[in-house]
Structure 1
């Protein structure tokens, strides 16, 4: 796996006073600073799925539990009916701990998308060099959709009920900015991984960024299609595989 040079992120990764280092959220409304703080956290800790050491794994587990609790409660109750205190209680931590990880419930909700996307980039770096690019991207993405212990501890309700809640959550205006930030960070990291694998330069070649954007879109469309599926839904793994297959083939016009 490529080692990220963290020297440029050292100042951003410094903890705020009286909080756990490396995991705090962002204070204030400066969107640019929010993006940099999130990126610094992931640059200095590595992929969420591959962190070394008990302390780092515990942080990742707590972050995942908070992110999932935020999604689960919001899908069930509605965005405006969920408090930070509710999310913290569901995850088994204090509100203070929540604030060490996230600056808002919107950031907590978007964190699951961000972390999964960053793990995809990390997994791509670990795929065999002889594996074709789009096959490697598909396999890296599929690895991230195995439910973690936080999902097993707080399973989602029946598909129809869950879909209704998730759709309402995704339409919430307060989430749009956080999702855009998460997508921008994730696509930049995936583009870097693609560039390493293909020997291209994101600064001069469009190719790695185009691939990253296309891969991100493939996953997004597959997830949207999953939400639109009948009950029982089409398995997300099948939808992701189909989406990547179509993109890798150049999106040919379907036969009629």
Structure 2
């Protein structure tokens, strides 16, 4: 097996993902137990059974480990959006793109719920997450403008991305409020179905 053998590279990549996940999980659990200011990088590294040097190979800071990899999440949703056939309406294309992210979130429900709880508890972490989400939203607006043949400054791409983002957040909040019970994908579909129908008033016969 040569150094460039895909099997070896695949194992190496899986090992890196496992180490990154272990560090994030250790950071979240320690902060949930002790508080943000009472946990150090050294303690996180020890809990994940790696060195502090290894920690910094994966995360620039403790806060980055807690918030998660917003860059990777952005890449995931943009790749998923690009894979949706061009003839699909913009709102449906965004729903399909978000569905891939939602699948990953529900795939590790315990850690996802813990991250949501920890991040919303500390303003400094929430601000970092919001900043990352704003970058993602701008990227989605640009991608949606390309899909629709509109200039990025046109109102439609920004509006449809904002509405789709609201549907995603609504589904995530409902799922988290229910302790992760039920299907997050179903909640996402429900939110997008309501938006696509024009949000009819439920009191209307």
Q: Structure 1 residues 63, 191: closer, same or farther in 2, change over 3 A? A: farther
Aligned to 1:180: 130
TM-score scaled by structure 1? 0.62
Aligned to 1:193: 143
Bigger share in helix: 2
Distance in 1 between the 2:200 and 2:104 partners?
Answer: 32
Q: Structure 1 residues 243, 78: closer, same or farther in 2, change over 3 A? A: farther
Aligned to 2:5: none
The partner residue of 2:177 within 228, 232, 240 is 228
Q: Does 1:170 align with 2:124?
A: no
1:198 deviation in Å?
Answer: 0.8
Contact 1:64 1:112 in 2 (8 A): no
Q: CA RMSD in A?
A: 3.3
Deviations 1:77-96 (A, max 9, x none): 54334332343345554322
Contact 2:171 2:184 in 1 (8 A): yes
**More divergent stretch after superposition (70-79 vs 185-194):** 70-79
Count of aligned positions: 194
Q: Max radius of gyration: which structure?
A: 2
**More divergent stretch after superposition (86-95 vs 175-184):** 86-95
Contact 2:66 2:119 in 1 (8 A): no
The DSSP-based 3-state class of the residue aligned with 2:68 is helix
Distance in 2 between the 1:70 and 1:219 partners?
Answer: 26
Contact 1:78 1:168 in 2 (8 A): no
Aligned to 1:99: 56
The partner residue of 2:154 within 183, 205, 226 is 205
Distance in 2 between the 1:216 and 1:60 partners?
Answer: 30
The partner residue of 1:215 within 158, 164, 167 is 164
Aligned to 2:185: 237
1:68 deviation in Å?
Answer: 4.5
1:205 deviation in Å?
Answer: 0.9
Contact 1:69 1:91 in 2 (8 A): yes
1:194 deviation in Å?
Answer: 0.9
Contact 2:78 2:97 in 1 (8 A): yes
1:125 deviation in Å?
Answer: 0.6
Q: Structure 1 residues 168, 221: closer, same or farther in 2, change over 3 A? A: same
1:167 deviation in Å?
Answer: 2.8
Distance in 1 between the 2:86 and 2:190 partners?
Answer: 23
Query: Please, which runs of 5 or more residues in structure 1 have no aligned partner?
Result: 1-52
